[in-house]
Structure formats: structure tokens, C-alpha cells
Structure 1
Amino acid sequence: MPPRIQPPSKAIASILRCRRPLRNQRQYATAAAITPAASHEQMTGGSPAISRFPATQPPSYKPPEFRKSQLLRQYASVLRSTPLMLIFQHNNLKSTEWIGIRRELSLALKKVDQARVAAGFPPENLADAIKLQTIQTGIFSSALRIVEYYKPEKQPQADPNGDGLTHVLSKAAHEAVSATKKVHPLAPLLSGPLVLLTFPTVSPQHLKAALSILAPSAPQFPPPTRRASPGWHDPGVQAGIQKLLLLGARVEGNVFDVEGTKWVGSIEGGLEGLRGQLVAMLQSIGAGVTNTLESAGKNLYFTVESRRTMLEDEAKGGSSEGSKKESKAE
């Protein structure tokens, strides 16, 4: 084995001498980059707290780098932008079961989109925007209270000397929610492991398809047949569906129980059918009011006419009797 070549000591010394100035220069450059900013803040008396943060990330009451803070922002955004959401309780679902349930749900929702396009409606592709996701129950409850009870445009700031921020993670939102004693109607359902099914719009047809997959109940929401959806009858998917329990729904800010949720999903023809029913109901009410008013006028007219006829008859009878008496007197 050939001996290793040892570098001369002079070469090692030259390398060390070359590295030392670079390290010192780098430290000096860092210090030079920091020192002017600090001296500028000391000379100007410091800048406001908000101006030291970017406009896209204002300061918050809780550290925004924590996962809980980001989940709070996400849940608040979902609550404000989602008009329809279903709440399920899940019990130790496996990853394979989640995959099968999401697959069958996506297939069923895409069939609804295709049926609407075949019926002449414009393509919307709502199936891609409908999401099934698990949530942290406690953080979701806090986000729900902030969205429902914290109205910065209607209530004054808790601290008059505050920073003026009103976003979800601000100190004002935290104090407003912590001071409230109101209990949201959805609070009794927020217990245990939960999963949300969110819809970008209120679509009874998509809701009916989702209930037929996740919580089937005949005759309104029958499960798919084996020929139409063979994957839904797989043992893994069936085991996962048995671990899901429908608790309720939140529709346009209103809380619905299981029966109310099924009523929304059972609306025939979707929102278009509901609008048609509303128009027909309003037309029937208008026709009923018109008939009532016309009947009152007709009754009054007939009463006046009958009274006038009676007075005319009495007048004619009185004049004929007077003429008879005059003729007898002659």
C-alpha cells in the first residue's frame, strides 16, 4: 500500500491565513448590515409596530408560526366562504378506508355534474371543489365563535390604545371571543373526532349524492347499487362508512339537525326546483288575495244593488197606493 502524501506545513499555514480574513470579513459585513438599522431606529425614536411587518402578515396576538394559529385562520376562512357543510363524527378510520370513501364520493359527485350538463345546465364542476377533511375540534370551535360573534364593524375595540388590527389572530378578536358567554347552537355537536364535508354552493342534488354515499337511508337516500358503483360495496369502504355518523349541517349560517339536512337534500330539482316552488306559492298567494278582494267588492256591490232595488220597489208601491186613494176620493 503506497504511503499517504502528507501536505507540507507551509501549505496548511497558508490555507488557515486565507480563511481567517474571510470569516472576519463576513462577520464585519453582517454587523455593518445590522448596525445602521439599529442606529436609525435609535435616532428616529423607533418606528410603529405595524410598519415593521409586511402588509400580508400583520402582527398577531398569538405566534403565527404555530400550527394552531394557521389552523384557526384556515377554519375561519372555511366558515366564511362555505355556505353548506356537513359534520360527521368518525371513529378510527384507516387510511385505506379514507381513500376508498373519498374515491366513491368523488365518482358520485362527478355523475351529478354530468347529469346536470346533460340536462342543459352550464358546466360547474362542483365535484372538484367539494372536500372531505378532518378537523381539530377545539380550534374549529374557537374559529366558529370568532366568525359568528366577532363583528369589528359593529362593536368597539376592547383596548382603546390597541394596535387597530381586526383580523382573526388579532388581540381584539381574542378578547372579544374570550369575553362572550354566548353558546353557539352548533356547539353541542362539536365533540370528539369530527370530519367536515364542505360545498362551495348550496346544491341539493350534490348533497343528496353525498348522503347516499356517506349516510345512506332508504327511501330518500338509497345506497348505490352494485352495478352502478361496485367499489362502494368493497369491504374496506363499507367498514369506513359504518364508522361515520352524521351529526348535522350548517347551511347559510343556520344550524340543521339530521332531519333538516335530509330535507335540504330531498328538494326536487335542486335550487331551481325550490325557486319554482317559491314562485308558484307566491302566485297562488297573489291569486288568493285577488279573489278575496274581488269577492268583498262583489258582495258589497250586490248588497247595495239589492238595497236600491228594494227602495225603488217601495217607492213604486207607495206611489201606486197614493194614486188609488186619490181616485177613490174623486
Structure 2
Amino acid sequence: MPPRLQISSLRRPALRCPYELQIIRKASTAAVTPAAPIEQMTRSPAPISRSPPTQPPSHRNPEYRRSQLLRQYTSILRTSPLMVLFQHNNLKSMEWASIRRELTKALEKVDEKIAAEGRTSPALAPYIKVQTVQTSIFEVALRIVEHFRPTEAALASGKPPSAVDPITQTSAELPILSGSRDDPALTHDLSRAAYEAVKHLKGRHELADVLVGPIAILSIPAVSPEHMKAALSILTPKESGFRAPTRKANPDYHEPIVQIGLQKLNLLAARVDGQILDLNQTKWVGGIEGGMDGLRSQLVTALQSMGSSLTNTLEGAGKSLYFTMESRRSVLEEEQKPEGEKSESS
């Protein structure tokens, strides 16, 4: 049998490995693509921005929960001029829910009373919150709010301050803030400037000794002694000295789950317009009758009484001087009369 003829044109080409095919494609592409200019080859590549376009570079990673809590606490401190601090001891979720329910009812009654009196104060009950905080992060937020001045830090760096909203912590100049996270022009709460400004003040705040253990805060968005009194009469009636609602007026308040939860709350201190108040001063603020309007009327009355007393004092000095001079004049006139007139007058 004659040998078979091998036709090379009918033979299937051998399969190449993927690595060899990749080299062939790169070689063909390099042959077509022109070489880059020398300036482009020698120039260093642009830095890769590690921050999203909606978030300025930060010293603290904004993705961490601690950073988000820090921003939340600084926002609460800036928007709550009146704040009361409590110590809580392992309250359960149902106990917290029951306490918040009674607190909301008491605060709504205060809003209704203010509206019935015809005052134009806004309703504060929907915005008054009681919540637990992490003491270490809350202490850092206190130092940032009270000791960090973004404008001064930016002026010291020689760069204009960035327009950062203190509540939302977002900047209106995000395209400009594309540099390093250590840029001194960045002055938001998570920036390196804020960290360096308050780092040496750790543990030196007035509330540092109080922020120990589990802490809860009651934040009020306005200085309202009436709302503060209503809240303390619900949360800590014995320590504050304000009467709690009676069983007949509010039977839900005397439920076991509410009373058990209230026994685990202790009043520590208060913060009013940046000033730290102890227990007695907190009671005094809550005991102001008529709220801020009542305090203003008391101030006006005190000023008027001071003015009237000062006027009476000055008038009294003038009157006494007048009577003294008149008596002296009459004595001199008597001495200047002749002897005959003196005897006739006598």
C-alpha cells in the first residue's frame, strides 16, 4: 500500500498558549501606536485622589463608625444650647422606649401650655431627644466644639478657610480640597487641623471627670427652662426636686417598666450656652418661672428697682443738703438781726 501524502495546506495550525497570544497582541499594538513624547514620559503622573468627590480629605477615616459618631456629637453640641447629662445603668430597650414615651407626653404638654398663653415660642417637643453616647468620642467632640477655631487655624496656615457646614460637615469648595489630608486649609471636624488643635487638651475639659461609665444626654435645641423642668420631673424627680406626675394624672408613668428604668438614671450635670452647671445650678435653671420670658421680666424688674433706689438715694442726699443749708441760713439771719428785733421776735 503506497504511503499517504501529507498536504501541509490541510494541516490545522497548532494552538498557541494565552501568554504567547498576549505578547503577539502587545507587539502589534506597539507597532501601530506612536511613541509618547519625551515630556510626557519624564513628567510624574498626577496623584490619585483617595477621597470621593463628595467628601474632603480627612485625618480620621470618615468610613469608620467612630468618625461618624464624632460628627454627630459635634453637630448636637453646636445645635443644642441646653443639654443635661445622666448616668444610666444597663437600661433595656423596652425601658428606654417607655421612658421616651412619657418624656414626649410631658414635653408636648409644655408646648400646649405655651401656645395657650399666647406666646410665639416654637414647639420644641419633636426636637428634644434623649440618647446614649460613647464617652471617649463625646469628650473629643466637646474639645473640638469649645476649643477649635477653624478660622484662626486657616489664617495661621496662610490659606483661606474652607466653607464647611458645621452640621453636615460638607464643603462648598470640594474641587479645591483635592490635596493631601494634611492640608492645613482643611478645617472640618475630621481634619488634621482639628486633631492637632485639641490633642494636648485631652482629659482637661470640665466634664472629663463626669464622663465616666455609661452616659446619656438630653439635648434641647433652645434654652427653655420650662421644657427642662418637665424633662427632669419625668427622668429624675427625686434628684431635681421637681414633682413627678401623679398616678391619677398619668397612670402610665407609674407602670413597673417605667419606674424600673427611671431607677437606673442619675442626674450628673448640665451644659447651658457652653457653661457647665452642677446639680444645684441645674435645679435653679429648671425652677425659673415663665421660662426665658419670665427671666427677662425679672431682669427688667430688677433693673427698674435698682434705678428707683438709686434715684431715691440721690434725691435723699440732695434733700438732706437742702434742709441743712436752709437751717444754716435761718440761723445766720437770726444772728444778723439787731438786739431790739431779737427781743421783739422772742
Per the alignment, residue 189 of structure 2 pairs with 168
Distance in 1 separating the partners of 2:321 and 2:203: 56
Map of 1:177-256 to 2, 5 A cutoff?
A: 177-180=198-201, 183-217=204-238, 220-256=241-277
Q: Which of residues 294, 300, 322 in structure 2 aligns to 1:301?
A: 322
CA distance in 2, matches of 1:318, 1:60: 104
Are residues 212 and 314 of structure 1, via their aligned partners in 2, closer, same or farther at CA, if it must alter by over 3 Å?
Answer: same
One-letter amino acid of the structure 2 residue matched with residue 89 of structure 1: Q
2:87 aligns with 89
Which is worse superposed, 199-208 or 150-159? 150-159
Give the gaps of 5 or more residues in structure 2: 1-38, 159-181
What corresponds to 2:24 in structure 1?
none
Match of residue 133 from structure 2: 135
Please state whether the residue corresponding to 2:297 is helix, strand or coil.
helix
2:209 is paired with a residue whose SS is helix
Question: Which residue of 2 is the match for residue 149 of structure 1?
Answer: 147
1:122-144 C-alpha deviation (Å, 9 max, x unpaired):
36221101001111110000010
Pick the aligned partner of 2:298 from 277, 280, 284.
277
In structure 2, what residue type is equivalent to 1:122? T
Report the CA distance shift for 1:282/1:49 in structure 2 as closer, same or farther (over 3 A). farther
Q: Percent same amino acid among aligned pairs?
A: 55
Letter of the 1:88 counterpart: F
2:286 to 245, 265, 285: 265
Tell me, which stretches of 5 or more residues in structure 1 are unaligned?
Answer: 1-38, 322-330
Match of 2:107 in 1: 109
For the aligned residues, what is the CA RMSD?
2.9
Corresponding residue for 1:63? 61
State the number of aligned residues: 281
The CA deviation at 1:257 is 1.1
Q: Is the 8 A contact 1:97 1:239 kept in 2?
A: yes
Q: Normalising by structure 1, report the TM-score.
A: 0.77
Aligned to 1:325: none
Counterpart of 2:64 in structure 1: which amino acid?
F
Check the 8 A contact 1:157/1:172 in 2, yes or no: no
TM-score (norm 2): 0.74
Higher helix share: 1
- Once the two structures are TM-superposed, the CA of residue 308 in structure 1 deviates from its matched residue by 2.1
How far 1:219 moved relative to its partner? 9.4
Determine the structure 2 residue equivalent to 1:290.
311
Deviations 1:289-328 (A, max 9, x none): 111111111122222222222222222247969xxxxxxx
SS of the residue 1:146 aligns to: helix
